[in-house]
Amino acid sequence: MRINKDMKMAEVIHLNHHLLPVLNRFDIHLGFGERSVETVCRDHALNIDFFLEIVNTFHDPSYFPVRHLQSFKASMLIDYLQKTHAYYLDFKIPEIRQNIRQITQEGSLQNSHKKLLEDFFDSYQHELTTHINKEEQRVYPYVISLENTLDNPASTVKELQEIGRYSILEYEEDHDDVEAKLFDLKNIIIKYLPTSKNNKLLNVILHDIFELERDLNNHGHIEDLILVPIVENMEKALRARLNKLSANV
């Protein structure tokens, strides 16, 4: 079922409660009353089409956004993506880490096994952080500066040429190893970690890992399906503008 502007925001959560952290990234918080998606978006000064594309890609991984790509500002997307980064690094990862730290107290894991799990998770955390930092420090600044240069009618040929030296495709990098580690972690817990009967906390950890994985997949999806096409369009526009300028000279 596609989420649309006329639904009540409360219905959206009933339909898929996994969307709650996504709404939080738009600074939308619980207590919707009877307000519709459209009203809530208006109250928060959000672009409704943008909001719908984001929640629908999250709600249904097979949903392919196409319609409104041109109308979105890259800066809007980057703002959203940065908030998901913050959610991982400041909330979800520390939460899982905290539960792993506590797990021996519950008695569901031996000390030596806990250490293995901790070390493995730490190395995952390190890799994820490195990957995110690269995006924040290199990719996003490039996109923002490309958008600003294009938006400014007074940008000089030199400025246009300067930013034109880069391409989003160069930054494309596989997330393979980061993804593989999370995949391994799931299987280690599901299949190989010996546990005692009382493993409620381990279940919570596993549940959190699935949630994190789902969120990360969606994050990658948004980058590949929405951000990259928008940036490619901007790069095309940049080349067109440079051609026009050089033809005028």
Partner 1 sequence: MYNRLCILLIEPSFLIREGLKTMLSNLGNPYRLEEIDTPLDDLEKLINRLHPTLIMINPLLIPKMITLPRDPESNFNPIYIGLISNGVSTKTKSKFDNLLNLDGDRHELFKTMEKVMQQLGTSQTETDNYTLSERELSILKLVALGNTNNEIADRLFISTHTVMTHRKNITRKLGIKTVSGLTVYAILNQHIKMEEIQGS
Q: Under rule CB under 8 A, which residues in 115-144 are in contact with partner 1?
A: 116-117, 120, 123
**Can you tell me the distance from the alpha carbon of 136 to that of 142, in angstroms, rounded to the nearest whole number?**
10
The span from the CA of 156 to the CA of 179, in Å, is 42
60 touching partner 1, by CB under 8 A: no
- The CB-of-148 to partner 1 minimum distance in angstroms stands at 39
Q: Is 111 in the site for partner 1 (CB under 8 A)?
A: no
| In contact, 244 and 84? CB cutoff 8 Å | no
Cα(130)–Cα(136) distance, rounded to whole angstroms? 10
Interface with partner 1, residue 62, by CB under 8 A: no
Given the rule CB under 8 A, which of 54-62, 75-83, 90-98, 112-120 is the region that contacts partner 1? 112-120
The one segment of 47-55, 74-82, 139-147, 177-185 that binds partner 1 by CB under 8 A: 177-185
Among 187, 233, 243, 246, binds partner 1 (CB under 8 A): 187
- Distance (Å, rounded) from C-alpha 238 to C-alpha 37? 35
> Given the rule CB under 8 A, which of 46-54, 75-83, 142-150, 176-184 is the region that contacts partner 1?
176-184
192 contacts partner 1 (rule: CB under 8 A):
yes
Among 33, 191, 244, 248, binds partner 1 (CB under 8 A): 191
- Cβ closest to partner 1, residue 108 vs residue 149: 108
Binding site for partner 1 (CB under 8 A): 112-113, 116-117, 120, 123, 177, 180-181, 183-185, 187-188, 190-195, 197, 199, 203, 206, 210
